[in-house]
């Protein structure tokens, strides 16, 4: 399972808690606001990202599951 972390910049207040908890996924910019540095997260990084989202005091972080795309089946006679 992989997930994607997003920051709602309209809610974020720049506390920086997310970068402490999910350092593999979030860096802080020069003003102390988070930048997501990893587009798809898995394993420990995904767990930390979920923890950071739960800890964010402004509810500015969301983690969504990445659903793998499935190629449609083709009939054997189709090119
Ligand atoms: S913990 Fe939440 S409010 Fe604080 S910097 Fe991270 S996203 Fe912004």
Q: The tokens 């964010």 sit on which residue?
A: 56
Residue 78 domain flag: no
Provide the 8-state DSSP code for 27: E
Task: Identify the weakest region by mean pLDDT among 11-25, 44-58, 59-73.
Answer: 59-73
Q: What is the pLDDT of residues 14-53, one digit of tens each?
A: 989 999 999 989 999 999 999 999 889 999 999 999 999 9
Structural domain boundaries enclosing 53: 2-63
**Cβ atoms 32, 16 nearer than 8 A:** yes
CATH of the domain at 47: 3.30.70.20
Residue 77 domain flag: no
* C-alpha 2 – ligand 1 centre gap (Å): 22
* C-alpha 71 – ligand 1 centre gap (Å): 37
- Give the pLDDT of residue 8: 97
Residue 75 domain flag: no
* C-alpha 67 – ligand 1 centre gap (Å): 26
Residue 17 domain flag: yes
Residue 23 domain flag: yes
Provide the domain count of the chain.
1
Provide the whole-model pTM.
Answer: 0.83
User: What φ, ψ does residue 28 adopt, rounded to 5°?
Assistant: -105, 140
- Give the pLDDT of residue 7: 96
Q: Which of 5, 6, 10, 13 to mutate to test the pocket of ligand 1 (most atoms within 8 A of CB)?
A: 13
């Amino acid at each position: 399972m992989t997930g994607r972390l997003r920051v709602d910049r309209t809610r974020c207040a720049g506390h920086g808690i997310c970068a402490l908890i999910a350092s593999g996924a979030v860096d802080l910019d020069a003003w102390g606001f988070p930048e997501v540095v990893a587009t798809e997260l898995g394993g420990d990084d995904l767990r930390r990202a979920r923890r950071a989202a739960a800890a964010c005091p402004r509810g500015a972080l969301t983690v969504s599951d990445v659903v793998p795309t499935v190629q449609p089946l083709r009939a054997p006679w189709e090119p």
